[in-house]
Amino acid sequence: MAKRRRERPGPSGFLVVDKPSGMTSHDVVDAARRWLGTRRVGHLGTLDPQATGVLPLAIRDATKLIPFVEGGAKEYVGAIRLGARTDTLDRDGTVLERFEGALPDEAAVRAALTRFEGDILQTPPMYSAVKVQGVPLHKLARRGEQVEREPRGVRVERFALLRYEPPLAQIEVVCSPGTYVRSLAADVGEALGCGAYLDSLRRTRSGPFGLEQAAPFETLEQEAAAGKIAERLVPEVEALGLPVLSLGDEEARRVANGSDLAVPRTRFPDGPGTRVAVQGADGRLLAVMELHPDYRLRPLRVLPPPAA
């Protein structure tokens, strides 16, 4: 068996891509691997091929921090087209039914949207990456198969109508990770009795990452060719958004080896459960740690030392 070539060391951090329509999230991950010369690239939640906007990628050691930054709310703007249903719940699908009657007025649309705010149960669509017995649902759907899917709890903080020009309803959504906006669009159509599907979608925020940090795909291609793409990386400490604890050399060595750390109570007024980003004197992130009731910081994740 051939040995995998060892990667050259390189910068870690988060790359925020403004994903274009027509590309899958995995297409963007593959491009980032090429841009930065590493296989260690992970995303913080996929976007459908037709959708655009914020797609954060974790690069190298930042992949180990994904669980600490991926749980924040997602924010979107988009459009729902009333008057038809499709098999994929969006404009890329086949139209299954068209509604011939008069479309609902603006008040009815606003009322329908608010019905889906709060904690709701949502069944993953057949055209999704959710796996059943190890097989992605979208593969089963393309074979014409329908399978039972377990509803999942999600939270919709905001589902607002920005503008209504029938048949298009411009919307804004703030929701928990794992929410399918396509499903929300289809559910609104059912509630209104006229059918609906998602016509367009743009993600404007994913947890701590927003459009203000995102760069277009074409720009990143150019910066990679010029050797400047590493300048785009959001530092890990910035992305975590945690209080920062800087250590001297001896304490830093102990933390790097997985040891806990005693701290004075006065340093942590919020008490046990506080999480901190711990860095060495050189500013490199060493670990994410959590304060326990005995006022010792214990590591949740220790990052490896730089490769030689």
- Match 């929300």 to its residue by tokens: 184
Residues 6+ apart with CB under 8 A from 243: 274, 275, 276, 277
What does DSSP say about strands 196-206 and 74-82: parallel, antiparallel, or unpaired? antiparallel
In the set 18, 27, 30, 48, the catalytic residue is 48
Q: With contact defined as beta carbons under 8 Å apart, do 78 and 181 qualify?
A: yes
SS3 state at 97: strand
Round to whole Å and give the CA distance between 283 and 253.
14
Q: Which helix (H) or strand (E) holds 289?
A: strand 285-291
The residues with which 75 forms a beta bridge, in sequence order, are 174, 205
Round to whole Å and give the CA distance between 33 and 40.
7
Residue 98 tokens, joined: 């068209």
Q: With contact defined as beta carbons under 8 Å apart, do 209 and 14 qualify?
A: yes
Active site includes 105? Answer: no
Which amino acid is residue 146, in one-letter code?
Answer: Q
- Residues that are catalytic: 48
